[in-house]
Chain A
Amino acid sequence: MRYLPALLIGRLIRFAVRLVRPGGGSALPGLVVSKLAPSLVYKTLSSFPDGYVAITGTAGKSTTTKMVVAIVRAHEVEVFTNPSTANIEQGFFSTIVRTGDLFGKVPGTIAILEMDEAHAASVAKRIQPTTSVILNVLEDQLDRFVDPALVRETLTSVAQQTTGTVLLNADDQNCILIERALGKSSHVEWFGFSRNASLDVDLQYAPTYEKELIRPDSSVTLFSQNERQVTVDVFGKQVSFHLPTRGAHFALDALAALATAKEVLGKRFDLELAAKVLDELPPVFSRGEIREIEGEQVEFILVQNPASFQLNLDNIQGKPEQVLVAIGRDVHDPSWLWTVDFKKLHHVSIVSGFNYADAALVLKYNDVRVDHVESDYFKAIDNFLSLPKPSVGIKTVLYSADAMRRLRRYKGFTDPEDVNRV
């Protein structure tokens, strides 16, 4: 009963916002409820019989979480999770408003949550995760985190609060340092690439400037990757499947997901079933998602930090004929755009988004041919979609999170689950 008034208000706000802005209304109810009933999220997180899994790190959280949830659900376990746009505390509140009853009760025997690094640490101090997954430490959001070493410290505190297993990336020296900071009672499992699979792959982990530590043996290991097809060893058993999206970073997410699902499910874990799930799983929206809009096939690629921009650029196939680059308001300090190597990008049709000027500057100084710079983002979207159909059949959008949200709302596809596998 304690949370009833706050949740009622949250629901009313959600209803009202969605009347005005169809598809919107996900953030404000959470913000209001977090002020009215700040302990609700902790009460909810402590209510799951099997605890909660915190999936965190700089990059890959959304895809890994989606993969883990799909595998665990396929084993007929009821899971509570958050959408990828709701990985901070305010987002957890919004998810409870959306999926719970008026008493704050949400369905599920376990919560599997994507968690922003800093918020994972603050939540873990209040409610300890049963399992934590730390994917990586990259140079990202330096206007917020200042130094990757501080991110590593934050993630170390998440690992230290974990009551069960900590799953870590064996190829990231930052994760090995995190393991060194754990007590002897902590249980750690590793996932990572085999020596062969890691050749010619640079997942851009932040340098630690410490003496290189020996890579631990991983229990879940990538043997090989050919485009989207991967062969993986999971605790001594091999399996092959196709990733939802191409790129070594998505292979890493799959390794983390298999390791996590095995940890959560224990003896119930069925590797063949898990591989089948991953073989059929659509990508998380905007992570290489291809959809048809107004008769045009468009690939949507979210670029959130130097590593994701670089890895996604490097994974673009061929020479895309029509590209929209949109850097939105979420990029508070666009300086990091200048750390990206744009040589793979020869031509951009339209540059837009709130930070259109900075995006255009970096592209032009890097000799990328830019056809148009458009300060009005919605006009840019319309102009881009009305460009003649490219001979390769598909248009490419590279955008930041804010530009993604605005485009999706503008074009009316706001359901994060509404993504097809191609």
Chain B
Amino acid sequence: MSNSIRLGAISPSHLNLNGDLGNLLVLTKRLAWRNVRSSIEHLDGSEDLSQFDFILVGHGSSAAWKQLLDSRSDLLNKLVEFVERDGALMAVASAADKLIPLLTGVEVSRGARVSEFMNVDGVVGYKNSESQGPDLVWHKNALLTQLHGPLLAKNPLLADQIIQNNEWADVSLESSYVTEIDELAMQSRKIAFEH
């Protein structure tokens, strides 16, 4: 197992409209609770992504994406290449919209806007999108989802699944603090459907 995990976020000052960056905070804390060091790095897309253990591409406005892709026209190709080489990645909402067709060949059409909490195969999160593609899908080691915000905080099993699958830490190491946090996450998932 590695003892220093590099977590990178692509352009988090613009692709963090709903707090998606919090997912990296969740990973780094859950690693620390299992005595594994990690770091969160803000990336502009020019970096060698293979140097990173996990890449987050959060949700941003259309205008933010346009500016980003105008300045980094190779970004989506780099992300696809990263995933095809089994890199661990999480793409949220508009980022998933862009990567799903490139990675899976599935077209993402637009329809009526959905703005509500959803339970997708046991994973609870908020969707605020017109996207008609899959709400949560894995492609190799990449999680592509419409569920935005702190998804890994709300769904600690998913966070630990990412940690376990990538062999970053032994997630069976529990503590009273982890139990307390995960109890709050359970309450959060329950409250989501009481609005």
Contacts of A362 in B (CB 8 A): 22, 150, 153
Measured CA separation A223–B29 after assembly (Å):
44
A209 touches B61 (CB 8 A): yes
User: How many interface contacts (CB-CB < 8 Å) are there between A and B?
Assistant: 95
Contacts of B66 in A (CB 8 A): 209
Contact with B along A124-168 (1 / 0, CB 8 A): 000000000000000100111011110000000000000000000
Q: Is A335's CB within 8 Å of the partner chain B?
A: yes
Q: From A354, which residue of chain B is reached at the shortest CB distance?
A: B191
Distance from B148 Cβ to chain A, minimum over Cβ atoms (Å): 6
Q: Is B165's CB within 8 Å of the partner chain A?
A: no
Q: Is A332's CB within 8 Å of the partner chain B?
A: yes
Out of A148, A329, A338, A354, name the residue touching B19 (CB < 8 Å): A338
The CB with the most chain A CB atoms within 10 A, among B25, B126, B181, B188, is that of: B188
Contacts of A410 in B (CB 8 A): none
The CB with the most chain A CB atoms within 10 A, among B19, B26, B66, B184, is that of: B184
B184 touches A146 (CB 8 A): no
Q: From B181, which residue of chain A is reached at the shortest CB distance?
A: A364
B17 touches A361 (CB 8 A): no
Q: Is B119's CB within 8 Å of the partner chain A?
A: no
Contact with A along B14-57 (1 / 0, CB 8 A): 10111111100110010000000000000000000000000000
Contacts of B137 in A (CB 8 A): none
Q: Is A207's CB within 8 Å of the partner chain B?
A: yes
Q: Is A208's CB within 8 Å of the partner chain B?
A: yes
A365 touches B25 (CB 8 A): yes
The DSSP consensus for interface residues of chain A is: helix
Out of A329, A335, A365, name the residue touching B26 (CB < 8 Å): A365
Contacts of A143 in B (CB 8 A): 115, 126, 128
Q: From A355, which residue of chain B is reached at the shortest CB distance?
A: B191
Contact with B along A323-351 (1 / 0, CB 8 A): 00000010011111111000000000000
A332 touches B195 (CB 8 A): yes
Take A338-B22, A339-B19 as given contacts and tell me if A361 and B64 are in contact as well, using a CB distance cutoff of 8 Å. no
Measured CA separation A202–B117 after assembly (Å):
32
Distance from A142 Cβ to chain B, minimum over Cβ atoms (Å): 6
Interface residues of B in 60-111 (CB under 8 A from A): 61-64, 66-67
Give the size of the chain A interface in residues (CB under 8 angstroms): 34
**A-B contact list, 24 entries, CB within 8 Å:** A142-B18, A143-B115, A143-B126, A147-B62, A149-B61, A207-B63, A209-B66, A333-B117, A333-B126, A336-B19, A336-B149, A338-B153, A339-B21, A354-B191, A357-B185, A357-B188, A358-B154, A358-B188, A360-B184, A362-B150, A364-B181, A365-B26, A365-B150, A365-B153
Measured CA separation A11–B19 after assembly (Å):
44
Interface residues of A in 193-235 (CB under 8 A from B): 207-210
Q: Is B113's CB within 8 Å of the partner chain A?
A: yes
Q: Is A366's CB within 8 Å of the partner chain B?
A: yes
Measured CA separation A373–B63 after assembly (Å):
39
Q: Is B3's CB within 8 Å of the partner chain A?
A: no
Distance from B108 Cβ to chain A, minimum over Cβ atoms (Å): 16
Q: Is B4's CB within 8 Å of the partner chain A?
A: no
Q: Is A47's CB within 8 Å of the partner chain B?
A: no
Report A's interface with B, CB cutoff 8 A.
139, 142-144, 146-149, 207-210, 329, 332-339, 354-358, 360-362, 364-366, 373, 375
Take A139-B17, A142-B128, A335-B148 as given contacts and tell me if A357 and B184 are in contact as well, using a CB distance cutoff of 8 Å. yes
Take A338-B22, A362-B22 as given contacts and tell me if A209 and B195 are in contact as well, using a CB distance cutoff of 8 Å. no
B63 touches A361 (CB 8 A): no
Q: Is B187's CB within 8 Å of the partner chain A?
A: yes
Take A207-B64, A335-B126 as given contacts and tell me if A357 and B19 are in contact as well, using a CB distance cutoff of 8 Å. no
Contact with A along B163-185 (1 / 0, CB 8 A): 00000000000000000010011
B185 touches A338 (CB 8 A): no
Distance from B19 Cβ to chain A, minimum over Cβ atoms (Å): 3
6 shortest A-B CB distances, which residue pairs? A335-B149, A338-B19, A338-B22, A209-B63, A357-B187, A357-B188
Contacts of A207 in B (CB 8 A): 14, 63-64
Distance from A251 Cβ to chain B, minimum over Cβ atoms (Å): 25
Contacts of B61 in A (CB 8 A): 147-149, 209
Contacts of A355 in B (CB 8 A): 191
Contacts of A139 in B (CB 8 A): 17
Measured CA separation A364–B149 after assembly (Å):
16
Contacts of B185 in A (CB 8 A): 357, 361
A361 touches B19 (CB 8 A): no
Q: From B188, which residue of chain A is reached at the shortest CB distance?
A: A357
Q: From B70, which residue of chain A is reached at the shortest CB distance?
A: A209
B126 touches A357 (CB 8 A): no
B126 touches A209 (CB 8 A): no
A146 touches B128 (CB 8 A): yes
Take A149-B63, A339-B19 as given contacts and tell me if A361 and B195 are in contact as well, using a CB distance cutoff of 8 Å. no
Out of B64, B149, B187, name the residue touching A338 (CB < 8 Å): B149
Contacts of B181 in A (CB 8 A): 361, 364-365
